[in-house]
Amino acid sequence: MKKKNVMGENMEAGTNAESDKKAGTKINKESDAKKSKKFRKEFLSQKQKDTAFLVIKIILVCMFAGAYSMLYIWDLYTFKGKVYPMRIVVPTLLFVSSSALMFVKIKVNRWVNFVISILVSLILIYGNFVMLQKSQGYEYKLEGDYVKYNIMVLFMIFMVIFAVTNSFKVAIITINIVNIVMGLANFYLVQFRNSGFLAADIVNIKTAANVAGGYSYRMNYRVYLFLISSIAICFFATKLGKNVVIKKFWRLIPMALALLMVINVNDLVQSKEYVKILKVKYFKPQETFNTNGFYITFARSINDLQVKKPKDYSVQKVENLAEQFKGTKTTVSNDKKPNIIMIMSEAYTDFMSFADVPLSEDNMPFFHSLKKNTLSGQMFVSVFAGGTASTEFEALTSNSMAYIPNGITAYTTYINSPMTSLASTLKAQGYGGIIAMHPYKGTGYKRNKVYPLLGFNKFLTMDDFAEDTETYGLHISDKADMERIISEYENYKKNNDKPFFMFNVTMQNHSPFDAAGVSKDIKLGYNINAPQAVQYLNMLRKSDDALKELVTYFKNVKEPTLIIFFGDHEPKIEESFYEEIEKDYKLDEIYENLMKRNTQFVIWANYDMKSDNNMYISANRMSSLVLETAGLAQNGYQQFVSEFSKKVPIITKKGYIGEDGNFYKTGDKTSPYYEWIHNYDIIQYNNIFDTKNRVQDLYKIAQ
């Protein structure tokens, strides 16, 4: 039995061993199968990655080819009709070499790559500054420490990117993209509005996009080479090695350095010591870019966006002023309250009113004929060749751009709650309609959101015009615009006896002035090549005809009616034209301080009133002047502006002209009008910025 058991155990052991062997073989086979499957999966995954990267590279090269092709599309290889071979050779070499390199695999020792990355980064920080300055036609060999200041800003940007990404490759590519965006934005803004790119323009980017159509985006060769070179650098940078260069807690070093650079640059642009050194010429910032450099000027403009509380500001002081200015009462009966139609005409400027412009014929004969029952003259504004909403803001709210940070548009930045305006004042006095109209996109300058806050009942945009509405130039014509005013008035009067108010911002004369189908009957006598100026001057004739049609209609309306017509700013046309205007300027010398900052206005009544055709005002005066002319009540703020305007008839962002005929800066404490200027600043700060403590007594209508 024992033997049998032993034999049985041996047989069982043998069977188990054989079973284990088979099981082991099975496990090994399964393991090999899994490894094979995993290998195939990894192989396919890597293959897919390679394919994806190849597709991305091809797309990027195709995009680069599109940018490169602009050399031939725009004939940038020529200058004054002559071909320059190097203008073809240089961008072609950059395009071909960098594109080919995208498809070449390069392996470099880690430490060699590290050293190369550092050297390339340092060279490119300075190189980006030089490329941008040169591409815009600005000086790059700056005096004093200005080069150092610009390098500090660029180094700060680079270190912040590097600290976040831990990659030289990403930092180099990103800072080049930043440089491209800054350069192109500045170039096109100078082309479109004759003013460079500043921090405030970022706030207005949506409005800029709204009016971007119709302009020519042709580059000059300098900007083109800047673009091609920057893209080529990005392509070359992709060949740098491993992304991650610093591990674990050592990353705190670049983070600390980035923070230190941010603090240093912030201290630099905010320091009182550097206020004069880094001061930005906001009316032509490209001059500051040329002397100080683009990046430090842009950084300084960020600091200038801060709203500074007036010295000695307090709510109590505003309340004291409210006690002094309690508003004025209406002087007309309800049945004598006039309809009020206010028109701000896009880029409207009567150059002949302040310069001896040699035209073959009068381009606005009807406007010039409006002498009887009118108030008219020069109206000075704070903007040039753009910034329509700034003039609109002043005219409707009685606020002044003199106290708004440089480059800021109040509509897009500050009006986020109800604010008293001419619209709300008229509504409080029984007016109806209260319609705003702008025959273009309603989102421009956030008008669709701002107008209800100013008290308007309805806002008409281009979407409210029929598709076949007449256009002139690139936009809805002033004729169609004025006809719509008449239509709105007639529709309102079918069911209402209350006086009617409408505010209209035209669009016909918006730049660019290179549209087909515009008459060129009126000739310009200057010996210059200025086709944009010629087209603009001819377009004004159409505006004049439209105004005549509107006035003629209301001459036959029995109800008393006021038509207010004024421009928002001077047009963006050839600088050579403005140079001729300056030679022929005929206003008093004091007004040369506000050159390029004046338009004209007229207030016409279809009833008898005393005329004054030689007035000098600024846009902030418009609301109170309209209310005075109509015999209507003013709130305390509007009354203050009326009294202020007797002492300071003209105030703009550039400065002001007192009743003594002298020009002053708003910060001039030696001015005999400084107390008025300071009080205006205090009231406006309370109205716009300290809204929680807004003194409402200033905005009540006197009963």
**DSSP β-bridge partners for residue 656:** 651, 664
Question: Which H or E run contains 615?
Answer: strand 612-618
Q: Give the pair of three-digit tokens for residue 644.
A: 């202020």
Cβ 235 vs Cβ 176: under 8 Å: no
Cβ 305 vs Cβ 200: under 8 Å: yes
Strands (E), 495-542: 500-505
3-state secondary structure of 354: coil
As a whole number of angstroms, the distance between CA 32 and CA 389 comes to 74
As a whole number of angstroms, the distance between CA 87 and CA 216 comes to 22
List Cβ neighbours of 330 (8 Å cut-off, separation of 6 or more): 337, 429, 631, 632, 633
Q: What is the phi/psi pair of residue 574, to 5°?
A: -55, 140
As a whole number of angstroms, the distance between CA 495 and CA 83 comes to 70
Cβ 664 vs Cβ 676: under 8 Å: no
Q: What is the per-residue pLDDT for 12? A: 47
As a whole number of angstroms, the distance between CA 494 and CA 478 comes to 25
List Cβ neighbours of 18 (8 Å cut-off, separation of 6 or more): none
Largest Cα–Cα distance in the chain? 143
Question: Which H or E run contains 682?
Answer: helix 674-688
Cβ 598 vs Cβ 650: under 8 Å: no
Question: Which H or E run contains 500?
Answer: strand 500-505
Q: What is the per-residue pLDDT for 39? A: 47
Q: Is 473 left (phi over 0), alpha (psi -120 to 50) or beta?
A: left
3-state secondary structure of 520: coil
DSSP 336: G
- The residue whose two tokens read 């600290």 is 163
Q: Which of 93, 179, 192, 87 is nearest to 135 (CA)?
A: 179
Peptide linkage before 512 cis (omega within 30 of 0) = yes
**DSSP β-bridge partners for residue 650:** 657
Q: Count how many residues are written for the chain.
A: 703
- The residue whose two tokens read 């119709």 is 214
| Number of neighbouring beta carbons within 10 Å of residue 518 | 16
As a whole number of angstroms, the distance between CA 531 and CA 276 comes to 39
Q: What is the CA radius of gyration of the chain?
A: 34
Cβ 459 vs Cβ 523: under 8 Å: no
C-alpha torsion 449→454→460→461, nearest 10: -50
Question: Which H or E run contains 598?
Answer: strand 598-605
Buried b (16+ CB within 10 A) or exposed e, 225-255: bbbbbbbbbbbbbebbbeeebbeeeeeeebb
Give the chain's residues under pLDDT 50. Answer: 1-17, 21-24, 26-27, 29, 35, 38-41, 43
3-state secondary structure of 376: strand
List Cβ neighbours of 137 (8 Å cut-off, separation of 6 or more): 222
The domains of the chain, with CATH numbers, are: 106-303 (no CATH), 315-597+615-699 (3.40.720.10)
As a whole number of angstroms, the distance between CA 363 and CA 171 comes to 56
Give CA separation, 459 vs 109, 207, 463, 503, 504, in Å: 66, 17, 11, 10, 10
Q: Give the pair of three-digit tokens for residue 374.
A: 């009118």
Q: Give the pair of three-digit tokens for residue 399.
A: 């606020």
- Kind of pairing, strands 432-437 and 458-460? parallel
- The residue whose two tokens read 């920057």 is 230
List Cβ neighbours of 101 (8 Å cut-off, separation of 6 or more): 235, 236, 239
Give CA separation, 180 vs 42, 226, 228, in Å: 39, 8, 10
Question: Which H or E run contains 561?
Answer: strand 561-567
Give CA separation, 3 vs 7, 10, 14, in Å: 6, 10, 16
